[in-house]
A and B are shown apart, each in its own frame.
Chain A
Amino acid sequence: MSTATRTRTPHSGGPAPSGNGAPPMGPPARKPFRMASSRRRITWMFVVFAIVVSLFAARLVELQLLKGGELAGETLGKRLVTQDIPAVRGEITDINGVPLATSIEVRHITADQTLVEDPQETAAVLGPIIGMDPAVLVPELTGERRFIYLKKNTPPQIWRDIQAWRAAEDNDGKVLQGIFSERLTIRDYPNKELGANLTGFTNAEGDGACCLESALNDVLNGEPGSVSYEEAPGGNEIPASDVQKVAPRPGTDVRLTIDADLQAIAQRAITKQAKASNSDFGMVVALHVPTGRILAMATGPSFDPENPDKVEPGDWNNKPVTWAMEPGSTAKLMTIAAVLDQGALKPKSSVVVPGTLLRGGKAFEDSHAHGTLQLTLAGVLAQSSNIGTILAAEEIGGDRLYEYLRNFGVGSPTGLSFPGEQSGYLLDPADWSETTFPTLAFGQGMSMTAIQIASMVASIGNDGVYTSPKLIDSYVGADGTVQQTAPGEQHRVLKESTAKKMQKLMQLVLQEGGTAKNAAVPGYLVGGKTGTAQRYDEECGCYSGYTASFVGMAPANDPEIVVGAWLDNPRGSYYGGAVAGPVVQQVLTAALASQGVPPTGDKPFKFPLTTDGSSLG
């Protein structure tokens, strides 16, 4: 140790400590120095620490006060999850509240494969709960897919069972991690085919795809609500978080005028008869005469609205409203009524009916060949004579007849607003040919739907006042408020006296010498009219086959119920009385009972059908 190094030490840091950054050791370390004051150093330590702590405090004020809201909002946005709460779709019920279409809550069980730790174990637990073979589940739970459906449309109880299993203390909550559910409501048709052509069905999104379901979609659908909550990684709801819930507005229930029991009888009867008569299809309509309410409206065969794809789309149609046909003989009611109403003829007036009648270069005939008959006007109706009806119609002329037909609703929509409704076809008089008038008189050359024909008959039953038919009774809100629909629109078609005469004459159809002897309902006076119309085939543009029909009403002296039945293209017997009569008789009997109409006795109304006293077979 030299004196030179010794003297340099007090003035500088010395070369050794700063030389290579390593701790100073070796010879230079021998240089002595004074130690600094520990107390002062300790004070400095505190001062520096206190400054750092105040910086931290300032930073805390910045993060928690100044930028707190901004940061909280930023992170809330990342955690916040909003889910729709589906609104429950309204029910479609019959007049007594029996559901024809209803909605039930179901859950789709789903999985996030990346969150499933042990597919084997998870499948073993989950399988029995959701009713699936664990061996089938394992591959569904294995992989990298973030979303997969395990089972669709499970009842809500299944999901509750899964949650209960998770919550149970003995169970390891991790086993079912990654299993989720989707809540939704599906449409249920508890009575399957019953009223299927009326209600229709819904599509996968839950919107109506046919018939009333689609026509009333906006009414039935409520407004979905939503729930927002904060979600932890892994999908759990954080319980302490603020939950924003907007309750869904449930849909409105629709109450039809239909009586489900009667609908069932009608549907069964027409389906059976359509098959028995080897027809393409059958239709039946039951109307409440004073109000125009539709008590039953069936198409047979029908279909299962939960599996609509099993039939052709054409079979979804509610044919009594969507199928227009030539009314045939049932339209003679309008012609005869018009003639009576105009006072041109009386029921007892004589109509001489030749075997054939030439009009506009065309020979018209009756359904059964005959020589010249001496009929009364009543006999023309009972016998359903085409020639007699033409001759009667000529007493008032084409323009008058056209007015009456229009007033009876021919060619006008009924106001049901049912999807696909046909308004029928009636040529304007300006466009008539020479044969149009005689053809129209007995029900050809125009088209009507079943509901139009039934409404026409009902207006005779309603003492001459037409009432537009009505299918929807009321709307019932989720809060129970009932909104009745407006009553059917009414207008007078016939004088009351004319209508009364018609009600009597229509009874003759079911009696000896009439065309529908087998449609009588024991205990009630029944009136009606058969129809055996030639069937216009759109495919060939020609007449092919027949539409057999019968429209009856009871009690004939004060009608309450009108029931009509139509069978399209029966291959076998095709006379309306024989084919459609039994269906009407069945439905009418049931309707009178369900509406509580007291029996009138069935003592027949007697009236001469011929002017020469001969009897008709």
Chain B
Amino acid sequence: MTQGRAVSNSEHHDWRDRLVKHPASIYYLMLGSTILLLLLGVLMVWSASAIESIRATGNSYDIASKQLMYAVVGLIGLWFAARLSAGQLRSIAWPLLLVTLVLLVLVLVIGTEVYGSKNWISLGGPFRLQPSEFAKIALIIWGAHILTRKWRPVMDWSLLLVPVLPTGMALMLLVIMEGDFGNAMIIGVIMVGIFYAVGAPLRLFAALGAAGAVGMIFVFQQFEYRRDRWLAFLDPNPDPLGIGYQAQQGTYALGTGGPFGVGLGASREKWGNLPAAHTDFILPVIGEELGLVGTIGVLGLLLLLIWSILRLARETPDRFTQLLAAGMATWLIIQVVTNVGAALKMLPITGVTLPLVSYGGSSLIPMLVGIGLLLGRARRLVPESSEPPSVEVAGPRQAASR
């Protein structure tokens, strides 16, 4: 009996080793979950936007075909990003940051205002650029590069925080000046995530948390409607036409879906009751059409993607890869948490999209490029890879600090 058990145990471990423990598994899990989320996203954007599209343009594929185009562009970006070596990537970290800063300043001057936020640069025709979205990926690459270079087993504050903290705060400030508080918060959280992953003392986060709280109180005092919007999710019986309406409709959609959903395409809420059905509130539409099975499936895929990214961060011998993956994971985590939390009426509505699933090229393309960078790193985890490990791990570069 014991023998048989032992055999089965070892078989079990073999199976698990091959699927999960094998270094290549990270690459395939990351790629697989990304592609599945992307496909589901395009499908659900199509379903959720069909009515709005046909009302606006007479073509029910209007929004969906744009999303498909963004996905294709993003996948091309992903493919190119995956081919970059760590060295190449690090060499463009500074230029990338500088271009982002220029764009963020530029958007304040020539930007187009959409939904009260002046954060778009029109590129002519239907093409628009949202620099605040690119600021996230730029901050992750640049922050990972700088902190990798600066890292010592023992550090002091100025070595750790300069120049990443002031630069991150400058980015946040520029994005706030556009009126885009949601993205400013995400940029801040990404910066915190990178500092956390690099191993900064916990008291830094207490201080940053306090600063964030002070900043938020300041914002609330300046903009009362934002506070009302933020606190609306706590109201159990919101005014049906008021602030809490959207979240309420979200829960209605989820309730209507039940365990198995009303069927693909059959959502009632998307007929106009649920605002932003194909962007911020795509999860309720998934829940209505595909049921609990669909929503848990989406959450599971996102968990799998983030797990694989964080495994890359854990397993990699290369600190740059580690910080890059941790930054990307933070970005994904904060978007998932704020989006899903709002859709489930557990957190305030911030207008943050569900990564890889919601409609929108400006959020999708940088995200796919970022995942592409990680895929490039993950592929090099495989022992067969000919690429030598990064120099940083072998030993710190000669003291760069002055």
Chain A positions within 8 Å of B, measured between CB atoms, are 13-14, 16-18, 21-25, 28-39, 41-43, 45-46, 49-50, 52-53, 55-57, 59-61, 63-65, 67-72, 74-76, 79, 169, 172-174, 230, 232-234, 236, 238, 240-241
Contacts and interface: CB of A to CB of B under 8 A. Distances in A.
A18 B207 contact: yes
Contact of B341 (A45, A46, A56): A56
B203 interface: yes
A79 B271 CA distance: 11
Interface stretch (B34-42, B74-82, B110-118, B252-260): B252-260
11 contacts: A16-B157, A24-B161, A36-B200, A38-B319, A38-B326, A45-B310, A49-B337, A64-B255, A72-B256, A74-B252, A238-B268
A53 B322 contact: no
A34 B265 CA distance: 55
B349 interface: no
Nearest to B341: A56
Interface string B146-163: 000001111111100110
Contact of B310 (A46, A55, A72): A46
A19 to B, nearest CB: 9
B210 interface: yes
A55 B345 CA distance: 12
B306 A70 contact: no
A213 B46 CA distance: 56
Given A42-B314, A46-B310, A60-B254, A23 B322 contact: no
A28 B299 CA distance: 44
B199 interface: yes
B307 interface: yes
Given A42-B310, A53-B303, A22 B193 contact: no
A45 B196 contact: yes
B201 interface: yes
Contacts of A30: 156-158
From B165, B201, B256, B258, name the one whose CB has the most chain A CB atoms within 10 angstroms: B256
A266 B253 CA distance: 69
B320 to A, nearest CB: 12
Nearest to A33: B201
Contact of B273 (A55, A56, A232): A232
Say what secondary structure dominates the interface of chain B: helix
B363 to A, nearest CB: 19
A6 to B, nearest CB: 11
A64 B272 contact: no
B208 to A, nearest CB: 7
A57 B211 CA distance: 32
Given A18-B206, A52-B337, A234-B272, A24 B296 contact: no
From A31, A61, A232, name the one whose CB has the most chain B CB atoms within 10 angstroms: A232
B273 A41 contact: no
B329 interface: yes
B211 A21 contact: yes
A22 B214 CA distance: 10
Contact of B193 (A45, A61, A76): A45
A13 B210 CA distance: 15
Contacts of B153: 34-35
A59 B198 contact: no
Contacts of A33: 154-156, 201
Interface size range of chain B in the complex: 35 or more
Ranked nearest first, the 9 interchain pairs of A and B with the lowest CB-CB distance are A71-B255, A29-B157, A232-B271, A75-B252, A35-B199, A36-B199, A240-B266, A21-B210, A13-B203
A357 to B, nearest CB: 93
Contact of B296 (A49, A60, A174): A60
A74 B249 CA distance: 11
A71 B254 contact: yes
A65 B257 CA distance: 9
B287 interface: yes
Contacts of B214: 21
Interface in B287-341: 287, 291-292, 295-296, 299, 302-303, 306-307, 310, 313-314, 319, 322, 326, 329-330, 333, 336-337, 340-341
A162 B308 CA distance: 56
B197 A38 contact: yes
Contact of B333 (A28, A45, A59, A240): A45
B55 A240 contact: no
B330 to A, nearest CB: 7
Contacts of B158: 25, 29-30
A70 to B, nearest CB: 7
B198 A38 contact: yes
B291 to A, nearest CB: 7
B341 A68 contact: no
Contacts of B152: 35
B262 interface: yes
Contact of A75 (B162, B165, B255): B255
Contacts of B262: 240
Contacts of A57: 296, 299
Contacts of B253: 75
B266 A31 contact: no
A518 to B, nearest CB: 78
Nearest to A71: B255
Given A60-B287, A60-B344, A240-B266, A68 B258 contact: yes
A53 B258 contact: no
Contacts of B203: 13-14, 17-18
A64 B287 contact: yes
Contact of B155 (A32, A56, A70, A234): A32
B53 interface: no
Contact of A64 (B291, B310, B337): B291
A286 to B, nearest CB: 63
A23 B207 CA distance: 7
Interface string B188-216: 00000100111111111011101100100
A49 B333 contact: yes
Contact of B268 (A34, A39, A41, A230): A230
Contacts of B255: 63-64, 67-72, 74-75
Contacts of B336: 53
B58 interface: yes
B231 interface: no
Nearest to B272: A233
A405 to B, nearest CB: 75
B254 A63 contact: yes
A17 B346 contact: no
Given A64-B259, A79-B268, A241-B268, A41 B295 contact: no
A64 B257 contact: yes
B251 interface: yes
Contacts of A238: 268, 271
Contact of A63 (B157, B161, B263, B344): B344
A34 B292 contact: no
A71 B256 contact: yes
A445 B296 CA distance: 96
Given A14-B203, A35-B199, A42-B329, 12 more contacts: A23-B208, A23-B211, A25-B157, A36-B199, A37-B199, A38-B319, A38-B326, A46-B306, A53-B303, A75-B249, A173-B54, A241-B268
Interface string B328-369: 011001001100110010100000000000000000000000
Contacts of B314: 39, 42-43
Contacts of B256: 68, 71-72, 75-76
Given A60-B292, A63-B344, A38 B199 contact: yes
